Structure 1
Amino acid sequence: MNDRFVAVIIFCLAFWAFIWLSPQDSGAQVVTRLGLTLSIVEDGQLTIDKVAARTIDKAKFGGQFYADKTPGLSFLAIPVVAAARTVFAMLGWSTDWTDPQVFDRYAVVATIGTNCLVSALAVALVFLVARRLGAPSAGAVFAAGALALGTPFLGWSTAFFSHSVSGSLLVIALALVFLAANEKRLLLWGAAGVVLGYCAVVELTTAPAAMLIGLLALGLAARGGNLVACLCGLAIGGTIGAMPLVLYNQLAFGDPFVLGYANVVGFEGMQQGFFGVGLPDPAVIAELLFGTYRGLLPLSPILLLAPFGLVAMARRQDTRAVAVIVMLAFISQLAINAGYVYWNGGWSVGPRHLVPALPLLALALAFAWPREGAARMVALTLLFISLAISLICAGGGMSAPGQYRNPLLEWVLPRFSTPEALLRSAPVLMSWAGFGWLLWRADSVARPHIIAARAG
């Protein structure tokens, strides 16, 4: 099988898992983001007055309520929600989105048509980008499978939140950068710029990572003698990609540079620093990485291998720059999260604000895949544990109330242990099996070449 065909299989396996577990409960953030989408589709308005009473995440300006979030995810869902409205009307179903049951029906469609779709595309691109960087096929499958099924990316790809989509856009942009570097076309550089610019429209915290990818693009273009085309493409595309946020701010708040966060209702901490972000707290960093309250590694021990992959990438001249970009992107996301006054993410299982960094970090796992021996068994054991925990979290729910000090054991596991949750989660094992087969096949194809190389 060629890489493109494998990528299609990976997309299907990831998409299947995501749609089967979708959607998570429609909490305040979902009401806010989807409320904006529905208000645009149904009424041609940017206000969320009709559902403002159902959410604490809102901004108030001029006596009306607006989404306090950046509108990128809400905008992406407009086509699929508009199509769903048409289908609902044809079937004679209610389209009154102020009805909670109808709203939840729209939430299913929006989550599948936006988060699940974009996230599955990112998983497939992790495989292709890793192969483009020179990772073995088995390592690239390992990385894609770990991201899709063995990290909190799984659970947050099934909720109408911005985290998985913003992280996916970063990988999509990186893939476009490599494609543009090969083809040397202005249009491709422009497309990469559009995606990079739109990252901030979906989630502001991804702006540093987007800029890092832009710097990588400039380096690749300079090396290939294509710097002018790259600069023009990124500048024009980035402006186009960021324009929806500027227009939204102007129409909603009367100023292109005033964000919804500046008019947020409650959440006084948002007035500190830069919309609630100050200097990172070392104790919070430790909790975000290792803690049982919001720690990443206890939920996804497979990521313990990421530093080894980064070191392997740094040792190779052709992947050294990407290793630096991945590391800095993760550090930037971690620093922002650790400096945020509401760093725990409210009702959350794991550090949801770190999820945008996971697709890029997964690239390191492709170079951490051991060839054989005890290291191989360690990697597979970590992967299996991560798969199990991630499925439990996604099946039990990603929005644990904030009072639980160990959400996995105190809230998620009891909810997952019910017959309904177990039956709902069981079909995801098909994706496990599919990735396992791809990994076995890629490894079995590579093994004769490894043995021959050693014999030589």
Structure 2
Amino acid sequence: MGAQVFLVLLTIYCAGYAGRAYSADDISSLSVGWSIAHRGDLEARIDAWTARFPDQSNTFGPAGQVYSKKGPLLAFLAAPAYRLTSSTGLPAIPLITTLNPVVTALTGWLLFHLTRLAGFGPRPAALTALVWGFLTLALAYSKFLFTEPLATLGLVVACLAAVRFPGWVGALGAGLGLSFAVLARPAALALVPALLPLVWSGVRRPGRILGFGLGLLPGAAGLGLYNAVRFGSPLESGLSPIETFSTPLWVGIPGLLWSPGRGLLFFSPAVLVGLAGFPLVWRAHRRLALTSALIVLGHLVLYGAWYGWDGGHAWGPRFLVPALPFLVLGAGPLLDGWSRWSLALKSAIVVVLGLSLLVQGAGFLTDFNRLPQPARPNDPMLWELPNPAWTATLQLLGQGQLDPVWARHGLWSIPVLLGAAAALALLPTPAHFRRKLLAAGLALTLTVLGFQVDVASLEAEPRELELAAALNTLQNHVRPEDAVVVVAPYAQTWFLNHYRLPNPVLGLTEDSLRLEPRFRLTLSRLLKPGAQLWLLVQGFAFPDPAAELDAELHRELCWTGSVNSFGGVRLSRFLIPGNFHDLGIQATFGRSLGLKASAWDAGTTLAPGDSFCVRLEWEPASPAEGVNTRISVQVLDAAGKLVTQHDGPPGAGFKQPGPTIIDNHGLSLPGNLTGEAFYLTVVVYNPDTLERYTLADGTDRLTLAAFRVERPTR
């Protein structure tokens, strides 16, 4: 019957498959998985939420690296999917999001066996697994990429191993299960005392404790190593000073249990049935019952004191998801005695389970990102009744705005086929024939899931097509030593799916255009002299005189003037200068535009296709003169013919401190250029009249340097 439970759960979970990430936590872990697969490090550099939420999911390392605060397990599980899809050209996230449906169904199968080991028959065990799988938050969280389902699996494995194997082997399994949970959610380490009633029992207690410790070692050591590699200390996790246990328990625990916006009793009323059946579990297996109670209590105390007890943007009290199997252990045994209960109790149970089904179905079929979410920890909206999230969910359902892939594309055959697969698991057949039906049902389920992955992989919005065109151009021109900065708000999922270059990436949002010191440090790590920086911007103007990022790039780098536009997406190229060499030339253009200094990072001999930077320092007599002026840095051949040029206002038009304007220009020589004599010159003109400013000798062009172009010898 356990296999039937697994298949029924899996078929329904596949019906909710949406094929996308939902939260900052998802993106943070996926960013690390991308880096593991494509760069072999642990950074979350492609995470475009880094700037907007620097203290939520990510943090900065000692040298400006961007690291995730989340446990490493999901990232390492996602990395193979990135490697697999990198060779096929398909996006990775639709494949990665098949993980939690399988994990949750597997947890339900293990919960069935745990209930059986507690002393109950197949039917109550199946009822327990189905109540947990369909009538609690487990249903909705089967489609998200939050790490709670992985932690849930680890805790159930830990309890199952300890109950199934009475000696040190069981204790070792319990430790390994808890290790799995710790790598998914490091806070699970606090649940060590909760498992002691199962571990500290029977004979040979020292051996069991030793086995438990050995099993826990991979999780604790792995987490410590993960932290040490990133932050230099196994005890440093990257949490900010505000992320502490600062909420009074008399606020956090009631919030987790009965606040309208996050309360467990509102989002999983079925736990009441589990609590009503808890005495049955206590009588059948006291140690398991005690451990279950301690796991639930541990979650309430741990997260009730957490500064953000509500779990941020989520569906219901997500921090309590790993405790749910242990809250409903008694549900199956209670329902199995249905015929013995009074009509009043039966009616109450039907109402509670019916409400649970409605609530879970709503969360399963909609996207919680479209609901009102708390703007800050302990937001008053969490206590509003009726809660805004309820009414918004009902509106989405009423308007038919459903979240699964099949609903978005009108593929109604998908739920029909998955229903048929579930029916194959439930058909009353002889045991020898049941295996074949289960195999057929599993094959059908996985086939339908694979089809949904394909559909999700082919989805593309118009703005994503613009990004695809820009990324194609980038991939055709970027060099291995180049860096990429992406300013595309909320497009981080798309980049995680499609960006496959090994070049370092810093993903920012428009908020980070006002650079803080830590962003400057992170940006400085990308700038390797002689390389290029590509800036991909979506949705707003560039250059933007009000944006500190633009000003910083134009002040420190050399814009080539190259801008490729793809609808609302712009791709610009900057040269990262090497060591500047003073050209020793000063001059005055017109009446009062003084050239105080000039330098470039090239030499007297260049190669075809070379790029170089020119730095000019201007001192206008008045701000207006700088605004109404254009600088043209040009390369001429011996005959005076123009080879290449770069034009722009002094300092690209950005306001700079002090009277001196730093003005950088990036130029690239044609790839087929050769010759003995070329000249680097500068011309100043009025953009309205095109009239050139003259020098003191009456000429209108200043020669800065001479050089030759030779093809490099092999």
Asked if these proteins are the same fold (TM beyond 0.5), I'd say yes
SS in 2 for 1:206: helix
Looking at structure 2, the residues matched to 187 and 216 of structure 1 have their Cα atoms a distance apart, in angstroms, of 13
What corresponds to 1:447 in structure 2? Answer: none
1:437 offset after TM fit, Å?
5.5
CA spacing shift, 1:412–1:436, aligned 2, 3 Å: farther
What corresponds to 1:44 in structure 2? Answer: 40
**Are the aligned partners of 1:52 and 1:58 in contact in 2 as well (CA < 8 Å)?**
no
Looking at structure 1, the residues matched to 42 and 302 of structure 2 have their Cα atoms a distance apart, in angstroms, of 28
SS in 2 for 1:321: helix
For 1:372-391, list aligned pairs within 5 A.
372=339, 373=341, 374=343, 375-391=345-361
**Are the aligned partners of 2:252 and 2:304 in contact in 1 as well (CA < 8 Å)?**
yes
Count of aligned residue pairs for this structure pair: 400
1:76 offset after TM fit, Å?
3.2
Question: Which of 11, 14, 18 is the aligned partner of 1:19?
Answer: 14
How far does the alpha carbon of each residue in 1:9-35 deviate from its partner, in whole angstroms, 9 at most, with x for none? Answer: 111222222233234643211110111
For 1:155-166, list aligned pairs within 5 A.
155-166=140-151
SS in 2 for 1:421: coil
Question: Which of 217, 241, 254 is the aligned partner of 1:239?
Answer: 217
Question: Which of 137, 157, 182 is the aligned partner of 1:152?
Answer: 137
How far does the alpha carbon of each residue in 1:387-409 deviate from its partner, in whole angstroms, 9 at most, with x for none? Answer: 22101112112444424642542
How far does the alpha carbon of each residue in 1:83-106 deviate from its partner, in whole angstroms, 9 at most, with x for none? Answer: xx32452x3x25xxxxxxx4xxx2
For 1:381-420, list aligned pairs within 5 A.
381-399=351-369, 400-403=371-374, 405=384, 406-419=387-400
CA spacing shift, 1:282–1:130, aligned 2, 3 Å: same
Looking at structure 2, the residues matched to 280 and 366 of structure 1 have their Cα atoms a distance apart, in angstroms, of 35
What corresponds to 1:452 in structure 2? Answer: none
Question: Which of 301, 307, 312 is the aligned partner of 1:341?
Answer: 307
SS in 1 for 2:66: strand
TM-score, length of structure 2 as denominator length? 0.52
Looking at structure 1, the residues matched to 187 and 34 of structure 2 have their Cα atoms a distance apart, in angstroms, of 25
How far does the alpha carbon of each residue in 1:275-301 deviate from its partner, in whole angstroms, 9 at most, with x for none? Answer: x11464323322321221111111221
CA spacing shift, 1:294–1:309, aligned 2, 3 Å: same
Looking at structure 1, the residues matched to 183 and 420 of structure 2 have their Cα atoms a distance apart, in angstroms, of 32
Instruction: Return structure 1 stretches of 4+ with deviation > 6 angstroms.
Output: none
Looking at structure 1, the residues matched to 328 and 141 of structure 2 have their Cα atoms a distance apart, in angstroms, of 16
Looking at structure 1, the residues matched to 119 and 196 of structure 2 have their Cα atoms a distance apart, in angstroms, of 21
What corresponds to 2:58 in structure 1? Answer: 58
SS in 2 for 1:260: coil
SS in 2 for 1:347: coil
SS in 1 for 2:46: helix
Which stretch of the first structure deviates more once superposed, 303-312 or 246-255?
Answer: 303-312
What corresponds to 1:355 in structure 2? Answer: 321
Which residue identity is paired with 2:397? Answer: F
**Are the aligned partners of 2:396 and 2:402 in contact in 1 as well (CA < 8 Å)?**
yes
Looking at structure 2, the residues matched to 9 and 88 of structure 1 have their Cα atoms a distance apart, in angstroms, of 35
1:350 offset after TM fit, Å?
1.0
Report the structure number with the largest CA radius of gyration: 2
What corresponds to 2:189 in structure 1? Answer: 207
Higher helix share: 1
Which stretch of the first structure deviates more once superposed, 374-383 or 129-138?
Answer: 374-383
Question: Which of 185, 198, 212 is the aligned partner of 1:216?
Answer: 198
Question: Which of 257, 273, 280 is the aligned partner of 1:289?
Answer: 257
Looking at structure 2, the residues matched to 172 and 300 of structure 1 have their Cα atoms a distance apart, in angstroms, of 23
For 1:47-446, list aligned pairs within 5 A.
47-53=43-49, 56=53, 57-61=57-61, 62-79=63-80, 81-82=81-82, 85-89=83-87, 91=88, 93=89, 102=91, 106-113=92-99, 115-181=100-166, 184=167, 186-219=168-201, 223=202, 225-261=203-239, 264=240, 269-270=242-243, 276-278=244-246, 280-314=248-282, 316=283, 318-369=284-335, 370-372=337-339, 373=341, 374=343, 375-399=345-369, 400-403=371-374, 405=384, 406-419=387-400, 421=402, 424=406, 427=415, 430=419
TM-score, length of structure 1 as denominator length? 0.79
1:251 offset after TM fit, Å?
0.7
Looking at structure 2, the residues matched to 434 and 303 of structure 1 have their Cα atoms a distance apart, in angstroms, of 27
Which residue identity is paired with 2:288? Answer: V
SS in 2 for 1:367: helix
SS in 2 for 1:297: helix
Higher strand share: 2
How far does the alpha carbon of each residue in 1:177-212 deviate from its partner, in whole angstroms, 9 at most, with x for none? Answer: 12222xx4x555433322212322211332333432
1:47 offset after TM fit, Å?
0.8
1:63 offset after TM fit, Å?
0.8
1:144 offset after TM fit, Å?
0.8
CA RMSD of aligned residues (A): 2.9
Which residue identity is paired with 2:23? Answer: G
**Are the aligned partners of 1:70 and 1:259 in contact in 2 as well (CA < 8 Å)?**
no
Which stretch of the first structure deviates more once superposed, 387-396 or 22-31?
Answer: 22-31
Looking at structure 1, the residues matched to 419 and 394 of structure 2 have their Cα atoms a distance apart, in angstroms, of 21
What corresponds to 2:513 in structure 1? Answer: none
Which residue identity is paired with 1:110? Answer: I
How far does the alpha carbon of each residue in 1:320-365 deviate from its partner, in whole angstroms, 9 at most, with x for none? Answer: 2221211121111112222111112221221111111112222122
Q: Which runs of 5+ in 1 are unaligned?
A: 1-5, 95-101, 271-275, 440-456
1:431 offset after TM fit, Å?
9.4
For 1:439-454, list aligned pairs within 5 A.
none
Which stretch of the first structure deviates more once superposed, 241-250 or 22-31?
Answer: 22-31
1:385 offset after TM fit, Å?
2.3
**Are the aligned partners of 2:315 and 2:363 in contact in 1 as well (CA < 8 Å)?**
yes
SS in 2 for 1:193: helix
What's the % identity of the aligned pairs? 24
What corresponds to 1:454 in structure 2? Answer: none
**Are the aligned partners of 2:338 and 2:346 in contact in 1 as well (CA < 8 Å)?**
yes
Report 1 or 2 for greater relative contact order, CA contacts < 8 Å, sequence distance ≥ 6. 1
**Are the aligned partners of 2:118 and 2:281 in contact in 1 as well (CA < 8 Å)?**
no
Looking at structure 2, the residues matched to 20 and 204 of structure 1 have their Cα atoms a distance apart, in angstroms, of 31
Looking at structure 1, the residues matched to 420 and 107 of structure 2 have their Cα atoms a distance apart, in angstroms, of 16
Which stretch of the first structure deviates more once superposed, 420-429 or 234-243?
Answer: 420-429
Which residue identity is paired with 2:74? Answer: L
How far does the alpha carbon of each residue in 1:221-253 deviate from its partner, in whole angstroms, 9 at most, with x for none? Answer: xx2x34344233212121123222111111111
**Are the aligned partners of 1:323 and 1:364 in contact in 2 as well (CA < 8 Å)?**
no
How far does the alpha carbon of each residue in 1:113-160 deviate from its partner, in whole angstroms, 9 at most, with x for none? Answer: 2x2222211111111111111224332222111111111111122111
Looking at structure 1, the residues matched to 177 and 281 of structure 2 have their Cα atoms a distance apart, in angstroms, of 25
